[in-house]
Structure 1
Amino acid sequence: MSKVLLVEDDQSIADMISIYLSEENYTVYCAANGEQGKELFSRHEPDVVILDLMLPDTNGIELCKHFRTVSNVPIMIVSAKSEVSERVNALMIGADDYLCKPFSMRELAARTSALLRRSALTQAVRPAAEDPVPMETKDIVLDLEKRGIYLHGQAVETTYSEFEIMKNFWLHPGKVFSREELLNKIRGIDSFVTERSVDVHITNLRKKIETDPKEPKYIKTVWGVGYKFEMPMKAN
């Protein structure tokens, strides 16, 4: 049974979500503020987080950042703020989905299921045995089983969506992906993400793995089409 951490200070909304998801066979842990959210997160290690932006003791953005420093768990933001800038900001700080209030319980459950399904599928992937490049010769290494990215042997923290994009690059080096193709890899059911979201994720990935993000040597822009990944190699 999947575990959901719900951080929501509106008790009526929290009760509705908790009851509905419980009927959908989820175990739901509810927190009314950021401190409780951190405590329950550490104690129960949830499979997905549903996080309200407006909390009494902290900004949900800051709490999302905190979760991202310790885990790659899928995070869905729920908020009454529907501005594009708010959605893009949520992506940039680590959210994987964004649902505007008011919303239907059915849609919330569908998106939660989509995040968990994609997470489970990714964790089931194993590195290819026929990898033609010895692991020790790569500047960048992806551990698909542990969902880890390593740059020169050092772990790189990524969001769920960033890793999904990087995974597709890694499995298909040199292949040119359109924004729409990459979008389909991270989109939930009727999700808010757009092709602009892909650009945000690419920008974030470049900041994390490129020496000079403005002159990338790994994640290349193919003008008018999309992006491609060039397999990194150490100099002999």
Structure 2
Amino acid sequence: MKNISILIADDEKEIADLIAIHLEKEGYDVIKVLDGQEAVHAIKTKQVDLAILDIMMPHMDGFEVTHHIREQSNIPIIFLSAKTSDFDKVKGLVIGADDYMTKPFTPIELVARVNAQLRRFTKLNQPKENTEDKTYLEYGGLVIIPDQRTVTLYGDHIELTPKEFDILHLLASHPKKVFSVENIFQQVWDEAYYGGANTVMVHIRTLRKKLREDEYKDNWIKTIWGVGYIFNG
């Protein structure tokens, strides 16, 4: 089994060193860089299984780094930043991050979140053994191919973040079943629900925009007020 390699991108060397110490104790290989350009170079040239990114870095910030990563990979991304506003948290999650922690932080919690993201990522990318299962979901003009993690709408490719895809796949796999916000968070983020309602709602909102519900008048994701969401396939 190959070693798991984690990228730490933070211009505060003391913080990067602290994180590295705790991750190495868990048996992970660590790559440390001090700015965004070095982070992008590491992603392109080295094996990286998970990235921990600061937002405010020289040369290229964490948001830009995330865009570069998502162009070529769906590895888990955790933001670790001093920026504590809800706007920054939501922006980070919407552009493709899987988790967001604020500084100051406890290394034990960060390691726990790293472990959770890697477990989830490994589970999602395991090959399917049951070849009799249908390999795609199709509802009208919407086609979801789980093995390729791709979505097309009336023949056009729809670019989704990993979390947006997971939410859509979860709902579309159980049409007409109502999922509460808490249930969606627990299944997609694979962790206990602690006030993640805003995170889920933001992802649902951006998902609806990408599915161009207003343009096509297709209400793929229906809100059941006071209860949750349902796939209207």
Letter of the 1:59 counterpart:
D
Q: Of 176, 179, 192, which aligns to 1:177?
A: 179
Q: Does 1:129 align with 2:132?
A: yes
Q: Distance in 1 between matches of 2:122 and 2:140?
A: 27
Q: Deviations over 1:165-223 (max 9, x none)?
A: 11211211121111111111233556876111111010111121224279542111122
Q: Measure how far apart 1:138 and its partner are.
A: 4.8
Q: Which residue of 1 aligns with 2:162?
A: 160
Q: Which residue of 2 aligns with 1:146?
A: 148
Q: Which residue of 2 aligns with 1:41?
A: 43
Q: How many residues align?
A: 230
Q: Which residue of 1 aligns with 2:72?
A: 70
Q: Which residue of 1 aligns with 2:122?
A: 120
Q: Distance in 2 between matches of 1:138 and 1:129?
A: 22
Q: Of 72, 92, 95, which aligns to 1:93?
A: 95
Letter of the 1:105 counterpart:
P
Q: Distance in 2 between matches of 1:46 and 1:134?
A: 29
Q: Measure how far apart 1:62 and its partner are.
A: 2.1
Return closer, same or farther for 1:229/1:190 CA change in 2, 3 Å cut-off: closer
Q: Distance in 1 between matches of 2:132 and 2:153?
A: 21
Q: Of 47, 54, 63, which aligns to 1:61?
A: 63
Q: Measure how far apart 1:50 and its partner are.
A: 0.5
Return closer, same or farther for 1:119/1:207 CA change in 2, 3 Å cut-off: same
Return closer, same or farther for 1:141/1:193 CA change in 2, 3 Å cut-off: farther
Return closer, same or farther for 1:135/1:103 CA change in 2, 3 Å cut-off: closer
The root-mean-square deviation of aligned C-alpha atoms, in Å, is: 2.6
Return closer, same or farther for 1:59/1:104 CA change in 2, 3 Å cut-off: same
Q: Which residue of 1 aligns with 2:203?
A: 201
Identity, % of aligned pairs? 36
Contact 2:182 2:193 in 1 (8 A): no
- TM-score, normalised with respect to structure 1: 0.86
Q: Which residue of 2 aligns with 1:227?
A: 229
After the TM superposition, which of the residue ranges 122-131 and 107-116 deviates more from structure 2?
122-131
Contact 1:110 1:189 in 2 (8 A): no
Return closer, same or farther for 1:105/1:188 CA change in 2, 3 Å cut-off: farther
Q: Of 9, 32, 35, which aligns to 2:34?
A: 32
Of structures 1 and 2, the one scoring higher in RCO (CA 8 A, sep 6+) is: 1
Contact 1:210 1:217 in 2 (8 A): no
Contact 1:50 1:76 in 2 (8 A): yes
Deviant stretches of 4+, over 4 Å = 133-138, 188-193, 213-216
Q: Distance in 2 between matches of 1:189 and 1:134?
A: 27
